[in-house]
Amino acid sequence: MSLQTLTYIVVGLSFALYIGIALASRALSTGDFYVAGKHVHPVANGMATAADWMSAASFISMAGLIAFQGYGGSVYLMGWTGGYVLLALLLAPYLRQYGKFTVPEFIGDRYYSKAARSVAVICLIFISFTYVAGQMRGVGIVFSRFLEVEVHIGLMIGMGIVFVYAVLGGMKGITYTQVAQYCVLIFAYTVPAVFIALQMTGNPVPQLGLGDNLAGESTPLLHKLDAIVTDLGFHAFTEGTRSTTDMFMITLALMVGTAGLPHVIVRFFTVPRMADARRSAGYALLFIALLYTTAPAVGAMARLNLIDTIQPGAIGTAEGNLAYADRPRWFRTWEETGLLGFTDRNGDGRIQYYNDANPGFEERAESYGWAGNELDVDPDIMVLANPEIARLPNWVIALVAAGGIAAALSTAAGLLLVISSSISHDLLKGILMPGITDKDELRAGRVAAAIAILIAGYLGYDPPGFVAQVVAFAFGLAAASLFPAILMGIFSTRINKAGAIAGMLTGLIFTFAYIIVFKGVFFEPLRDNVPSNWLFGISPEGIGVVGMLLNFAVAGVVSRLGEKPPAEVRQLVRSIRVPWSVGNS
């Protein structure tokens, strides 16, 4: 059976499973639509949270960035896993104790202001649409390769699938669909990793294989990889290229951004009790760790496999580089997507892959007869292409396609539901049309979700960077806007509505403007995205920390200059922090 046929079968069966679950658990009330009736078991919620969390950035892009950035890519591992610990300790149980549907609803009540609720909705929309642009790029990449369709066709197929189980099923349908998607994506990620680890090191555990010797050799895998990449002018895989300050800032931005992401926080409103919220966070961290501890091995092995394929002989010899005419099938198919490209700069018909931006390597390259790097590889293809490069069975390659689609669609569905609930529940029900019936609110939520899907598809067609980079921008926006307002709303009785509104707007505007200036999200960047131009040497991925600090400072100063919150609000804050053994509603 051909790879394309097998892929259609595997992906088609997974789609049928998702749609069947969504239809079987269709939302019949606003409680089902927003928080799945608050009766999801902590284990199921942990799996759904993991699927919601492990988006295309985790499945497709993270290991690809590690493959090319090496140690520098570890910021994503540290930030995204550490953020869940922060979420479990500081936010999840208290927000569940509060017991409302959405984050803007909490902010509106806590800061006794419809204006604060509206600002929270604005922040949420900025965050969610930035995040969902990365997910839709992931959908397009997977479909364009494995279903052999144009990117825009792949986006439309993905949008149609999400429409069915997000618009019809609501949170109830999404939750149980995401449980199935977690099973698919974790199986699809670990199976090829086990195969490749066995193939390269003889060790079936990828996490251990990363530090093991190569099969039949006495050389550790990482030592061999370091030697090869440095021989080609790249920095060593085990050494970082980012400054310590930037590494710290990106890691912290991803951590606090995790704790401020609305589509993650809302998952903890779906469990029966406050104690279950903590258990859900613990289970989610366990399920997430299965993929995140595997990602470094996947990235390292993918980079080594790629170089061994392109550079099969001694560096600098006539036969050392792969002849373009002899390129394997995987190379040809990825070329058709536009995510892998070859330019024959010296006219020898062979592929020279090296770091021509390294001034120390120029003289050696010229002595080899090389005239510049000839291979352009999009990091987002590495996880998907790795099983093909390693010549694994077709069923494994088809499984990876299903896993990549599951990862992208699961997070996209959660984000789109958050957007729709903010519009229907927070704007319409909470502010503009408070007398609206539950039936009309549910209908408005579905219409908002459908419109959000169309906008998300448009944004995903041409996002401003790799999947993980775009997602990192969303985390920075969450860290700078919603996280301080939620944290201070739980642990401080002194922050008033003026302070919260001023802080959220300051953090959001500063962070979004900085990203626009150096990277661009909806507009072209205004300055070169290079360290010498960055504020304090902080990249756009890490600037959310500065936005967060500005948020805290502005909120604190404005609140001190104004009146204290009303007595009933201060009592609300104290009641949220009642120990779960006492207040376990």
pLDDT digits (tens, 9 = 90+) for 125-178: 888 777 777 777 777 777 777 667 776 777 777 777 767 655 655 556 667 777
Q: Phi and psi for 355 in degrees, rounded to 5? A: -90, 90
Domain termination site, one of 345, 368, 388: 388
Using an 8 Å Cβ cutoff, are 166 and 417 in contact?
yes
Using an 8 Å Cβ cutoff, are 400 and 384 in contact?
yes
pLDDT in tens, 527-553: 777 788 888 889 888 999 999 999 999
- For position 222, which CATH number holds? 1.20.1730.10
pLDDT at 508: 94
pTM attached to this predicted model: 0.80
The answer as to whether 358 is a domain residue is yes
pLDDT at 15: 75
What's 213's DSSP letter?
B
pLDDT at 167: 61
The answer as to whether 585 is a domain residue is no
The number of CA neighbours under 13 Å toward the Cβ of 348 is 19
* Domain shared by 319 and 294, yes or no: no
pLDDT at 37: 46
Using an 8 Å Cβ cutoff, are 161 and 19 in contact?
yes
Nearest by Cα to 469 from 34, 68, 150:
68
Amino acid at 123: C
Task: Give the end-to-end CA distance of the chain in Å, rounded to a whole number.
Answer: 54
Using an 8 Å Cβ cutoff, are 100 and 479 in contact?
no
465 vs 271: which has the higher pLDDT: 271
- The pLDDT-based confidence of 494 (bands split at 50, 70, 90) is very high
**How far apart are the C-alpha atoms of 347 and 351, rounded to whole Å?**
10
- Determine which of 26-30, 290-294, 345-349, 506-510 has the lowest per-residue pLDDT on average: 26-30
Other CB atoms within 10 Å distance of the CB of residue 157: 18
* Domain shared by 431 and 489, yes or no: yes
Q: Which two tokens stand for residue 145?
A: 């390769």
Using an 8 Å Cβ cutoff, are 263 and 418 in contact?
yes
Answer whether residue 580 shows pLDDT above 80.
no
* Domain shared by 491 and 466, yes or no: yes
* Domain shared by 363 and 239, yes or no: no
pLDDT at 307: 92
Q: Which two tokens stand for residue 571?
A: 């009592």
- Average pLDDT of the chain, as a whole number: 81
* Domain shared by 293 and 227, yes or no: yes
pLDDT at 203: 92
* Domain shared by 45 and 127, yes or no: yes
Output the CA–CA distances (angstroms, integers) from residue 377 to 8, 68, 221, 240, 374, in the order listed: 26, 10, 22, 20, 10
Nearest by Cα to 224 from 234, 235, 236:
236
Other CB atoms within 10 Å distance of the CB of residue 579: 10
Helix (H) or strand (E) holding 4: helix 3-24
Using an 8 Å Cβ cutoff, are 368 and 392 in contact?
no
Mean of pLDDT values over 321-327: 92
Nearest by Cα to 172 from 17, 44, 11:
44
Output the CA–CA distances (angstroms, integers) from residue 582 to 41, 43, 87, 91, 271, in the order listed: 21, 23, 21, 18, 17
The answer as to whether 583 is a domain residue is no
Nearest by Cα to 479 from 407, 410, 538, 566:
538
**How far apart are the C-alpha atoms of 113 and 92, rounded to whole Å?**
23
Helices (H), 431-466: 438-461
pLDDT in tens, 223-236: 999 999 999 999 99
pLDDT at 65: 85
Sign of the torsion angle spanned by Cα atoms 210, 213, 215, 221: positive
The answer as to whether 581 is a domain residue is no
pLDDT at 99: 66
Domain termination site, one of 332, 360, 388: 388
* Domain shared by 16 and 82, yes or no: yes
**How far apart are the C-alpha atoms of 340 and 332, rounded to whole Å?**
9
* Domain shared by 322 and 373, yes or no: yes
The answer as to whether 582 is a domain residue is no
Nearest by Cα to 351 from 329, 332, 370, 378:
370
Amino acid at 271: V
- The tally of domains found in the chain comes to 2
Q: Which two tokens stand for residue 269?
A: 């409103």
Which domain range does residue 318 map to? 305-388
Strands 375-377 and 340-342 turn out to be antiparallel
Q: Which residues contact 389 (CB under 8 A, 6 or more apart)?
A: 302, 305, 306, 309, 328, 330
* Domain shared by 210 and 280, yes or no: yes
- The pLDDT-based confidence of 301 (bands split at 50, 70, 90) is very high
* Domain shared by 397 and 431, yes or no: yes
**How far apart are the C-alpha atoms of 291 and 50, rounded to whole Å?**
10
**How far apart are the C-alpha atoms of 95 and 93, rounded to whole Å?**
6
Q: Which two tokens stand for residue 186?
A: 């974790």
* Domain shared by 475 and 368, yes or no: no
* Domain shared by 276 and 339, yes or no: no
**How far apart are the C-alpha atoms of 299 and 62, rounded to whole Å?**
8
Q: What is the dihedral of CA 521, 527, 528, 533, to 10 degrees?
A: -120
Mean of pLDDT values over 70-98: 78
Domain termination site, one of 388, 411, 430: 388
**How far apart are the C-alpha atoms of 57 and 76, rounded to whole Å?**
10
Q: What angle do CA 14, 18, 23 make, to 5 degrees?
A: 145
Q: What angle do CA 307, 246, 520 make, to 5 degrees?
A: 80
pLDDT at 376: 92
Helix (H) or strand (E) holding 342: strand 340-342
